[in-house]
Chain A
Amino acid sequence: MGKTLSEKILSQKSGSDARAGDIVVAQVDLAFVQDGTGPLALRQLAESGIEGVADPKQVAFFLDHASPSPNRELSQDHALLRHFALKNGVQLWDIGEGVCHQLVVESYASPGEVIVGADSHTVTAGALAAFATGMGSTDVAIAIALGRTWLRVPESFRVVLRGKFKKGVYAKDLILHLIGKLGADGATYKALEFCGRGVTGMGMSERFTIANMAVEAGAKVGLFPADETTRAYLESRGRGERFRLLRPDPDANYEETIEVDLEGLEPTVSMPHAVDNIVLAKELKGEKVEQVFIGTCTNGRLEDLAVAARILKGKRRHPSVRLLVAPASRGVLMEAMAAGYVKDLLEAGAAILPPGCGPCVGIHQGVLGDGERCLSTANRNFRGRMGNPEGFIYLGSPATAAATAIAGEIIDPREMM
């Protein structure tokens, strides 16, 4: 019988005939940590008695969560990571470079690779047909030390996308809709493998948004086939030679098939405090917000800022709404400046934050006050996520965010387009 994308990649990387349910030891092409998970990984590495790293070129550190550091404790953690990186020849992406997952897809990930990151949204690189999955500090520490990890080959859900998005509807609306359908644990331990005409018509940025949130349905990985769009992206990033066509076999075995007609989707919002708590944006009309945040590894790319800038250009944020924008990487910020988006956003009243996670995880920058509501383009709205358990987080697309910033209340962005 044929193989799913997961089975193909893990067969190759483990040198075995890997099938769903098997336990394999796979070669790891990239193991990475960020500033929140890295210090524990380094302490565990030291504990394990293994000196140094298997191959420094296959390891990366990112200082993105607390970037720049807001306090002494985190400055010490940053120093620890910088020191280790320097000593072991590991590339460290310092503050201001961007969110780890964005930098991984810009500079590392390629089809057929295995990537493990000490961050749950490592799944983002699945959009490039890499088997990319999040793990904890100790697992990644051992992957750094050995260049290998153990994995259970997941069963796959085949997600068939048909048609095209209507105007004002985006990849974020699709993935929120899908998580609503599956539930927050509907795909636990499974691979989501996307296919269909809808995928062919989709740009890389949209695929990143979708793969990024696979973990919000519990999935281990969110995989896209490697096609001409993948090739063009890798060429634009100077990695054209690492492209190869990769798709599942036609007779692969799937645990489930889910079909989504993109045509039928509408702007969608996830309500506090669960990602699968989905409604249509128009149903929330009149729900006031105090803050709008555009950014993160989900929706902080150039295409996202372009959508927001187009809606906000020549307009102003509502006087009672704070508008925060954190580009996902330095490259994104530079391109957004060249395209004039940064000017449009600033003129509309936005505060531009340094590339990085920004207010996403409640460490600094844009922590909510008691009872305050935020419409965010991030991937999680758990209670306390943005630093205050008395805050309320709604998730939506960059278009919904931009329109909400103008209206001062949640609104279907098509009313502003």
Chain B
Amino acid sequence: MLKGRAFKFGDNISTDDIAPGRWFHLRSNLPELAKHLLEDVHPGFTSGVRPGDFIVAGKNFGLGSSREHAAVIIKMAGVAAILARSAARIFFRNAINVGLPVLICDTDKINDGDELEVDLEGRKVKDITNGAELSIGKFPEVMLKILDEGGLVPYIKKYKDFEIP
């Protein structure tokens, strides 16, 4: 069970919003890049967020460039999971690959600052502040396994190949 606060964002948060291109030269210095996480859309996000908190967004979270650094620095900031109405394809896969859950659910019911309880196994989200209960959409078995191992690299270390029935 994960517990934390919601940081609410709108629709179409791009990877340029998450990891701005002007900090491109910091991609091999992730702790420095992480200081600029979401700075154009939510100034002060990195100082406000605490380990275990959630990013809660509208539709198409993470659209745009394939830069996996975007998912990596969200994880480095301590964000436990991203909850969104939908997520862009490459970002979704990247997040799972670095061990950051992206949970598809009806986030309209969650407000900024709400206390949330996320039950990954039971695929349920509870908004403690307003009592709303949401179910989390399914994703492919292979992604669940990758997430279970903490990402694609530990998965490959263990299985040596893709284990697909």
Chain B residue with minimal CB distance to A21?
Answer: B140
Chain B hits for A388, CB < 8 A: 22
Stretch of A35-43, A247-255, A396-404 on the interface side = A35-43
Stretch of A45-53, A168-176, A336-344 on the interface side = A45-53
Residues facing B in A360-417 (CB within 8 A) are 361-363, 367, 380, 382-389
Chain B hits for A25, CB < 8 A: 162, 164
B86 interface residue (CB < 8 Å to A): yes
Chain B residue with minimal CB distance to A379?
Answer: B64
Known: A73-B29, A220-B89, A384-B17. A138 touches B68 (CB 8 A): yes
Chain B hits for A189, CB < 8 A: 89
Chain A residue with minimal CB distance to B21?
Answer: A362
Q: Which residue of A70, A120, A367, A385 contacts B90 across the interface (Cβ within 8 Å)?
A: A120
Q: Which of B26, B59, B93, B153 has the most CB of A within 10 A?
A: B153
Distance in angstroms from B58 CB to nearest chain A CB is: 10
Tally of contact residues, A, Cβ under 8 A: 59
A76 interface residue (CB < 8 Å to B): yes
> Once A and B bind, how many residue pairs between them come within 8 Å at the CB atom?
152
B148 interface residue (CB < 8 Å to A): no
A148 interface residue (CB < 8 Å to B): yes
Across the interface, do B22 and A37 meet the contact criterion of CB distance under 8 Å? no
B27 interface residue (CB < 8 Å to A): yes
Across the interface, do A383 and B22 meet the contact criterion of CB distance under 8 Å? no
Chain B residue with minimal CB distance to A44?
Answer: B153
- Cα of A218 to Cα of B63 in the assembled complex, Å: 8
B129-165, CB under 8 A of A: which get 1 and which 0? 0000000000011100000000111001100011010
Tally of contact residues, B, Cβ under 8 A: 44
Q: Which residue of A76, A118, A152 contacts B66 across the interface (Cβ within 8 Å)?
A: A118
B80-109, CB under 8 A of A: which get 1 and which 0? 000000101110011001100000000000
Across the interface, do A185 and B88 meet the contact criterion of CB distance under 8 Å? yes
A119 interface residue (CB < 8 Å to B): yes
A204 interface residue (CB < 8 Å to B): no
Chain A residue with minimal CB distance to B40?
Answer: A389
B111 interface residue (CB < 8 Å to A): no
Chain B hits for A383, CB < 8 A: 14, 16-17, 40
Across the interface, do B69 and A40 meet the contact criterion of CB distance under 8 Å? yes
Chain B residue with minimal CB distance to A117?
Answer: B66
A13 interface residue (CB < 8 Å to B): no
Chain B residue with minimal CB distance to A24?
Answer: B164
Known: A74-B24, A185-B86, A383-B17. A23 touches B164 (CB 8 A): yes
Q: Can you pick out 18 interface pairs between chain A and chain B where the beta carbons lie within 8 Å of each other?
A: A37-B67, A48-B157, A70-B25, A120-B66, A137-B94, A138-B94, A138-B153, A139-B97, A142-B152, A142-B156, A146-B162, A184-B63, A185-B88, A189-B89, A218-B60, A362-B20, A363-B21, A388-B22
Q: Can you add 19 more A-B contacts, CB < 8 Å, to A120-B64, A137-B94, A363-B21?
A: A37-B67, A37-B68, A40-B27, A49-B157, A73-B28, A76-B28, A77-B28, A119-B65, A120-B65, A134-B66, A134-B90, A136-B68, A362-B21, A363-B25, A382-B16, A383-B16, A384-B17, A386-B21, A388-B22
Q: Which of B's residues lie within 8 Å of A, judged by CB? A: 12, 14, 16-17, 20-22, 24-29, 40, 59-60, 63-69, 71-72, 86, 88-90, 93-94, 97-98, 140-142, 151-153, 156-157, 161-162, 164
